[in-house]
Amino acid sequence: MSGMGGFSSTAAHGDGRILGRVNIAEFEKIVDEALAELPDWVREVVDNLHVVVEEWPTSEQEAVAEGRSLLGLYEGVSLLDRGSHYTGVMPDRISIFMGPHLAMRLTPGRLRKQIRRTVLHEVAHHLGIDDERLHDLGWG
């Protein structure tokens, strides 16, 4: 996965293994395309953010989902919550989970749209938009 702007991105398993009908390289490409399609104003404000593709969430990450299927996860300090004390910290992290997306058994076109929706949802958390507001906007 390519880095851009304030983003850096990598894959957890970039060896081309196949999960379902989409291999990891193809999944990563869809994630990269979703990041590249973000509006310029979003890419300009993104700061200290690393985006990764993981096959499945860990048990600790799943605990955050409270029983819901976890398609992606933002971990970090949102731009809204950063202050002058925010220096020298590790990058925030967005994980996009391939397995749960493929488990939805969507058509290729719908899968692409769902991955894009997940990426946008997690980037919104980086910007400081919470789940309640995302639900109000239809992006929950």
Q: What is the pLDDT of residues 93-134, one digit of tens each?
A: 999 999 999 999 998 899 999 999 999 999 999 999 888 888
pLDDT digits (tens, 9 = 90+) for 58-98: 999 998 877 788 999 999 999 999 988 888 889 999 999 99
The more confidently predicted of residues 37 and 67 is 37
Q: Which CATH class is domain 7-136?
A: alpha beta
Is this model's pTM higher than 0.85 or not?
A: no
In Å, how far are 57, 61, 72, 77, 132 from 68, measured between CA atoms? 12, 11, 11, 23, 16
Average pLDDT over residues 26-36: 95
